[in-house]
A and B are shown apart, each in its own frame.
Chain A
Amino acid sequence: MGYIEFLSEHGATLLLGTVMTLKVLACSIILYVIISMIFGLMRLSKNPIIQGTATVYIEFFRGTSLLVQLFWVYYVLPFFGISLEAFTAGVVALGLNFGAYGAEIVRGGILAVPKGQWEAAFSLNFSPVKRMKNIIIPQIFPIILPPAANLTVELLKATALVALVTVVDLTFEARQINSITWLSVQCFGTALLIYYFISRFILVPFLRWLEVLASRKIGKGGI
């Protein structure tokens, strides 16, 4: 069977899977960004309990495998009476895992803001909340966006794992078609190309644009 024929027969299915992959990606990006912010700030807290909680969380999720976490959320949480849908379980596991990596990026970004900025805010008698909100946080974006962009590309690749907890995404569809037709080259090849396309021509340009936007906002880099 030619490739064109393959596409006309299974293209729609793969496209549906792609839409699901994008949905998983969008939801888990939102979740991981929120988690990174919260835990990144908690990690810098002076309160040992808050800081300890954040450290344990980060070390735990960075120390174990994403697949294990995913299966744990999907298959083990029901033992404790929490049954999540496959999609929710996938997004929660991805968000928690990448949130742990993101929190470290946020922490690094906050620490990288020059000391003079902190001191200036202090001498202007800003409250700690105002200091964070108006002075420090706006400045961390140009610092954290490049590593966060890498992390987000990793996240796109990691969304493939949700297929293993029965989310009907691109990987799931590719596997399904493979098991029916045994046209492995076509279906996995197409899936690889779609992931590549999303990453190289949609996600990465978008993240670069955000980087430019962020550095322009604080008056650095005049592109």
Chain B
Amino acid sequence: MEMGWRWDFAYEILPQMLVATFNTIVAAGVGYVIALVVGLFFLLGQRTPSKIINIINREIVEFIRSTPLLIQLFFVYFVLPQFGITLSAWVCGMITIGLHFGTYLSEVYRGALEGVSKAQWEACRALNFSTIYTYRRIVLPQAFPIAIPGMGNYLVGIFKDTPLLSTIGVAELFHAATAVGGYHYRYLEPYTMVGVIFLILSIPAAMGIRKLEKKVNLAQGKIKN
């Protein structure tokens, strides 16, 4: 077998890799949207006045956060069919990623809401604003910029965890690389290309998030750095 990097082989597999990259981006995007929504539900569970729901919610969040995503994927993928629910690998993957990162996002939301000073709430109460109006016009606009860095980091985080989906057979980038590598028995180029593609996508994303953070802070009249 020829050692060292082979450009012709890299060119040959490039189209396949790019198609799979598209799948990875879709997976990350869909997973992120689900996680954003799931995070809201966990946030609700945390903020309801019922103590019992609070405790249950916290335990669920703790459990999901302290166990590996990989095994959660296996769990959902292998266990649901035993209860007669057969979902495709894609759906299982999206559900699991959504749940897993939803717990993280709920913490981001909570931190952001707590970052709004208590005086703001009191002022709204004093002005006799309704709860909905308080949230919509006063609290959320102030909480959002606080949440942006965290939300952005988890978008990149989900993106970097999508390769795990390959273990249950979702045809994303890493899956494609493994398949191509196995077919030609050459792993150097496919895996290196996966790494490079990840770098190309995630570094600008991280920089974009930093820029957005600055922009929102400017719009709010708060300037950091």
| Residues in A lying within 8 Å of B, measured CB to CB | 59-60, 63-69, 71-72, 75-76, 79, 153, 156-161, 163-164, 171, 174-175, 178, 182, 184-185, 188-189, 191-192, 195-196, 199-200, 204
| Residues in B lying within 8 Å of A, measured CB to CB | 3-4, 62-63, 66-72, 74-75, 78-79, 82, 160-164, 166-167, 174, 178, 181, 187-188, 191-192, 194-195, 198-199, 202-203, 206
Q: Which residues of B contact A161 (CB under 8 A)?
A: 68, 70, 164
Which of B68, B191, B199 contacts A75 (CB under 8 A)?
B191
CB of B163 within 8 A of CB of A68, answer yes
Which of B162, B163, B164, B191 contacts A76 (CB under 8 A)?
B191
Chain B residue nearest to A195 (CB atoms) is B67
Which of B66, B79, B195 contacts A153 (CB under 8 A)?
B66
Chain A residue nearest to B189 (CB atoms) is A76
Which of B70, B74, B194 contacts A68 (CB under 8 A)?
B194
Q: Which residues of A contact B62 (CB under 8 A)?
A: 200
Q: Which residues of B contact A189 (CB under 8 A)?
A: 75, 79
14 inter-chain pairs at a CB distance below 8 angstroms, sorted by A residue, are A59-B203, A64-B160, A64-B202, A68-B195, A69-B195, A72-B191, A79-B188, A174-B71, A178-B74, A184-B75, A184-B82, A191-B71, A192-B67, A196-B66
Which of B67, B174, B192, B202 contacts A67 (CB under 8 A)?
B174
Q: Which residues of A contact B161 (CB under 8 A)?
A: 65
Q: A66-B160, A75-B187, A76-B191 are in contact. Are A160 and B198 (CB under 8 A)?
A: no
State the CA gap A63–B63 with chains docked (Å). Answer: 27
CB of B163 within 8 A of CB of A195, answer no
CB of B79 within 8 A of CB of A185, answer yes
Interface centre among A71, A75, A156, A175 (most CB of B within 10 A): A71
Q: Which residues of B contact A199 (CB under 8 A)?
A: 66-67
CB of B198 within 8 A of CB of A171, answer no
Q: Which residues of B contact A64 (CB under 8 A)?
A: 160, 195, 198-199, 202
State the CA gap A175–B192 with chains docked (Å). Answer: 27
Q: Which residues of A contact B74 (CB under 8 A)?
A: 174-175, 178, 184, 188
State the CA gap A60–B203 with chains docked (Å). Answer: 9
Q: Which residues of A contact B194 (CB under 8 A)?
A: 65, 68
State the CA gap A160–B194 with chains docked (Å). Answer: 21
Interface centre among A156, A171, A192, A195 (most CB of B within 10 A): A192
Chain A residue nearest to B200 (CB atoms) is A63
CB of A68 within 8 A of CB of B202, answer no
CB of A195 within 8 A of CB of B68, answer yes
The minimal Cβ–Cβ distance linking A214 to chain B, given in whole angstroms, is 23
Which of B4, B78, B163 contacts A65 (CB under 8 A)?
B163
Interface centre among A72, A171, A188, A196 (most CB of B within 10 A): A188
Q: A65-B163, A71-B191, A185-B79 are in contact. Are A200 and B66 (CB under 8 A)?
A: yes
State the CA gap A89–B68 with chains docked (Å). Answer: 19
Interface centre among A65, A153, A174 (most CB of B within 10 A): A65
CB of A68 within 8 A of CB of B203, answer no
CB of B75 within 8 A of CB of A63, answer no
Chain B residue nearest to A153 (CB atoms) is B66
Q: A67-B163, A79-B3 are in contact. Are A160 and B195 (CB under 8 A)?
A: no
Chain B residue nearest to A75 (CB atoms) is B187
Q: Which residues of A contact B82 (CB under 8 A)?
A: 184-185
State the CA gap A75–B174 with chains docked (Å). Answer: 13
Which of A65, A69, A171 contacts B70 (CB under 8 A)?
A171
CB of B199 within 8 A of CB of A63, answer yes
Q: Which residues of B contact A65 (CB under 8 A)?
A: 160-163, 174, 194, 198
